[in-house]
Amino acid sequence: MSLSAWITSIAVGIVLYGGLAWCIMMAVRAEREKRDEAEHGSSEPR
Amino acid sequence: MAAVGSAIGLGNLWRFPMVAYENGGGAFLIPYIVALITAGIPLVILEYAVGQYFQGSSPGALGKVKKPFAMIGWWALGVGATISFYYAVIMGWSWDYLVFSFTQPWAGGPENAAAFFAHVLRRTSGPGEIGVISWPVLIGLAATWICIYWIIKKGVLRVGKVVMLTVPLPALLTLLILIRGVTLPGAMEGLKWYLTPDFSALLSGKTWLQAYAQVFFSLSLGFGILTAYASYMPKRSDISNNAFITSFADAGFAFFAGFSVFSILGYLAQAQGVPIAEVVEGGPGLAFVVYPTAISLMPGAPLIAAAFFLTLLTLGIDSAFSIVEGVVAGLRDKWNISQNAAAGGFCLFGFVVGLLFATGAGLYWLDIVDHWMNNYGLVVIGFLECIAIGWFYGTKKLRAYINEVSDFQIGWWWDVFIKWITPLALGWALVANVVEEFKTPYEGYPTWALMAGGWSVVALIIIIAAILTAIPGTKREREEM
């Protein structure tokens, strides 16, 4: 494969799969924060 | 997960790689990503937000913006229903080929595979010669509708369980076929054809048009599916991040499927000693003629063929049942009937209408109806959705809700895309398609066939949508609007 083909596919791969990984990471982090909040929230009134 | 499954369908495997190949190879990926960002993602966000905020199926949700806009929703469901009638037939072929995988009756070269495909379909010489119903296709069609009914009859709970299998399984199977493909002689030559960029294609309007069309069809926009699925979510669920995940997963799968397709095409071209341009084909020809021919030349062909047709089935089934679920949700909300009754009634109706596509002329009619639904159904609906929300409801109001519930904020750019960029891009695509239609009759079909299977079907859907909007539904529906 030519160099331009390699560069294009790597760049597109970074955008698509990097973007997907970043979004999944955000979703996991938001979920964890919600869970932590719920746990702390339930222990505070005691 | 269900929305990802709905977006990733047969088109990712058999349409994207061919469109990329025909429009500048690797260079096509640039307009594709631009189209994804400027039209795909903003519209996915819009459809999710409308469904989740108004908590209704497409007609119900859009009807809450302004009552006449319910017609856009019914139009979307009409187009979705029509697509499901022939999509189920393609899945019927996949069932048949899955069974045939173990005997490989198509082996012996592309001519043999093409003749076998024509034999299975009992294909006639043109749309005017209806011929007879093919029994294998009829059985496959019935199996598909039974599966769809079984999955959706209890609503989203069973859908949620099924997509845990039907989303990862085709990805895994495609990866296995890819690994097999790239280890074959000629594979790198195939990949070279897929990825080598021809930057001059970027100067052609057609390339950009194709990129917008591909993004639009691939993301299941304009069917009312995303709106229906979002309506099942609690009002505080994330929207923007889910929209980005759906869009990136869909595009990522299409890009990855291209490697699998072109490695196999490279192998086939080398095995037959012909240039790759001679073996390249998209759509059903790729899945039911070219791929089976290539697979029949490999050691362990029955297993690879079974894996391939299982991939087609699992890719197709979640798209199929999501389209049907969108329609069923609309009918159920309108008349307050049970999920089971709406699903059963629609699946039976879909099976009966689908019989036309199971005849000897079915492939021709399928091709014509598919062309019109994609080019004049979905694009117009996307355009009208942008107008309804962008100019009548107000993007700022909806964006405020999206940002309130989402993992990350979307900015003013979304308003610009929904009000200006996306409708302009879709309007341009629409005008260009209509001009092309009158210049060259689609695929050389006779005018009467294009009128009957194309424009008449579009007109019929619009009339039905207008009637469904005008007639009163249940008391609850009237109160909500």
Q: Measuring CA to CA, which residue among B196, B162, B184, B223 is closest to residue B373?
A: B223
Per residue in B210-233, pLDDT (tens digit) is 888 788 878 888 888 889 889 888
Q: In 3-state terms, what secondary structure has residue B359?
A: strand
Q: In the structure, what pLDDT confidence band is assigned to residue B160 with cuts at 50, 70 and 90? A: confident
Q: Is the pLDDT of residue B199 over 70?
A: yes
Per residue in B297-325, pLDDT (tens digit) is 888 899 999 999 999 999 899 889 888 98
Strand partners, B359: B133
Q: Which two tokens stand for residue B243?
A: 């929209």
Whole-number pLDDT of residue B140: 96
Cα–Cα distance for residue pair B284/B288, rounded to 1 Å: 6
* Cβ separation A16–B241 shorter than 8 A: no
Question: Taking each helix axis from N to C terminus, what angle separates B240-272 and A19-43, rounded to the nearest 10 degrees?
Answer: 150
Any idea which residue has 């599916």 for tokens? B225
* Contact with chain B for residue A28, Cβ under 8 A: no
CB B222 within 8 Å of CB B384:
no
Contacts of B181 (CB under 8 A, 6+ apart): B187, B259, B260, B263, B264, B267
* Cβ separation B197–A15 shorter than 8 A: no
> To the nearest whole number, what is the mean pLDDT of chain A?
85
> To the nearest whole number, what is the mean pLDDT of chain B?
89
Per residue in B65-122, pLDDT (tens digit) is 999 999 999 999 999 999 999 999 999 999 999 999 998 898 888 888 889 899 999 9
Question: Taking each helix axis from N to C terminus, what angle separates B110-121 and B135-152, rounded to the nearest 10 degrees?
Answer: 70
Q: Is the pLDDT of residue B6 over 80?
A: no
Whole-number pLDDT of residue B475: 58
Q: Which two tokens stand for residue B133?
A: 């119903």
Q: In the structure, what pLDDT confidence band is assigned to residue B478 with cuts at 50, 70 and 90? A: low
Best to test chain A binding among B8, B44, B407 (most A CBs inside 10 Å): B407
Lowest mean pLDDT among A23-27, B25-29, B122-126, B182-186: B25-29
Per residue in B358-367, pLDDT (tens digit) is 999 999 999 9
Q: Based on the number of CB atoms within 10 Å of its own CB, is B447 exposed (0-12), middle (13-18) or buried (19 or more)? A: exposed
Q: Which residues in B67-84 are b (16+ Cβ under 10 Å) and which e? A: eebbbbbbbbbbbbbbbb
| H or E segment and range at residue B256 | helix B240-272
DSSP secondary structure of B184-202:
STTHHHHHHHHH---GGGG
Best to test chain A binding among B219, B248, B263 (most A CBs inside 10 Å): B248
Nearest CA distance, B187 vs chain A (angstrom): 11
Contacts of B66 (CB under 8 A, 6+ apart): B388, B392, B393
Residues of chain B contacting residue A25, judged by C-beta atoms under 8 Å apart: none
* Contact with chain A for residue B196, Cβ under 8 A: yes
CB B163 within 8 Å of CB B2:
yes
* Contact with chain A for residue B307, Cβ under 8 A: no
Q: Is the pLDDT of residue A46 over 50?
A: no
Cα–Cα distance for residue pair B103/B130, rounded to 1 Å: 29
Nearest to B188 among A1, A15, A19 (CB): A1
Residues of chain A contacting residue B248, judged by C-beta atoms under 8 Å apart: 16-17, 19-20, 23
Q: Is the pLDDT of residue B474 over 80?
A: no
Chain A neighbours among B 85-144 (CB < 8 Å)? none
Q: What is the ipTM of this complex?
A: 0.88
Q: Which two tokens stand for residue B442?
A: 């689609």
* Contact with chain B for residue A3, Cβ under 8 A: no
* Cβ separation A8–B197 shorter than 8 A: yes
Lowest mean pLDDT among A35-44, B91-100, B426-435: A35-44
* Contact with chain A for residue B25, Cβ under 8 A: yes
Q: Measuring CA to CA, which residue among B330, B334, B325, B332 is closest to residue B160?
A: B325
* Cβ separation A26–B255 shorter than 8 A: no
Q: Is the pLDDT of residue B350 over 90?
A: yes
Q: Measuring CA to CA, which residue among B51, B461, B391 is closest to residue B221?
A: B51
> Taking CA atoms, what residue in A is nearest to B188?
A1
Q: Measuring CA to CA, which residue among B309, B307, B334, B302 is closest to residue B61?
A: B334
Q: Which two tokens stand for residue B272?
A: 């037959």
* Contact with chain A for residue B158, Cβ under 8 A: no
Interface A–B counts its CB contacts (< 8 A) at 62
Whole-number pLDDT of residue A20: 95
* Cβ separation A16–B197 shorter than 8 A: no
Q: What is the mean pLDDT of the segment spanning B361-388? A: 90
| Amino acid identity at B305 | A
Nearest CA distance, B38 vs chain A (angstrom): 15
* Cβ separation B195–A8 shorter than 8 A: yes
| Model confidence, pTM | 0.89
Nearest CA distance, A44 vs chain B (angstrom): 24
Contacts of B64 (CB under 8 A, 6+ apart): B54, B56, B480, B481
Residues of chain B contacting residue A27, judged by C-beta atoms under 8 Å apart: 238, 241-242, 245, 407
Nearest to A4 among B188, B196, B252 (CB): B196
Rg (CA), chain B: 22
